[in-house]
Amino acid sequence: MLLDLHRLNEMHPLLPPSEAAGYAYRGALALQRGGHAPGVATTVDDCGTPVGTTVGWVGVDPSGEGQVDRISITEDGATAFSLAFLSVARGWTVELRLQRFQFGDWLMIDSAGDYVALEVSGIEGDYLPGRLREKLDQVRKVPFCDARFASVVAFGAPQAALAQAE
């Protein structure tokens, strides 16, 4: 399964184009900072099922890293990866950005037309299982949705996990 970060805007037409490009850029920086090159193989734990993926991106000049803060690179990189995976693997699309006080990052629509809240988190180094639990506790508070999910992406391996809040 190929996750092409530079096709985010095609995958999610309601994502502002400049934002999609920004996510893809910072995703590329996050992956390169982790020592990875385009075409790196990853495994995503999709609610307990391991899914093999290959991540594609257009290589970026690493000197650009100094102009973006580390947290933005990690968080936005995780957003790029998660949104690409959810589009390719599950056919979900972005519907609306949520605000911080709404306890989630995105309202998405799944392939059945149900509304799903998504919270994304990034880790610069190795995967931390505790982070996924924290994010599930947070996204559980998003009201009005049919389902709530959290996605955590670690750029050390790289490795990612997606889980549904009960």
DSSP-based helix, strand, coil % in the chain, nearest 5: 40, 30, 30
Pick one of 118, 132, 145, 152: the residue that binds another protein (CB under 8 A). 145
Pick one of 95, 110, 124, 134: the residue that binds another protein (CB under 8 A). 95
Q: Could you tell me if 30 and 22 are in contact, meaning their C-beta atoms sit under 8 angstroms apart?
A: no
Stretch that binds another protein, among 8-16, 35-43, 45-53, 156-164 (CB under 8 A): 8-16
What is the spatial distance between Cα 15 and Cα 17, in angstroms, rounded to a whole number? 6
DSSP 140: T
Count CB atoms within 10 A of the CB of residue 44. Answer: 24
Stretch that binds another protein, among 43-51, 59-67, 85-93, 95-103 (CB under 8 A): 95-103
Query: By CB under 8 A, is residue 111 in contact with another protein?
Result: no
Binding region for another protein (CB under 8 A): 13-16, 18-19, 94-102, 107, 115, 143-146
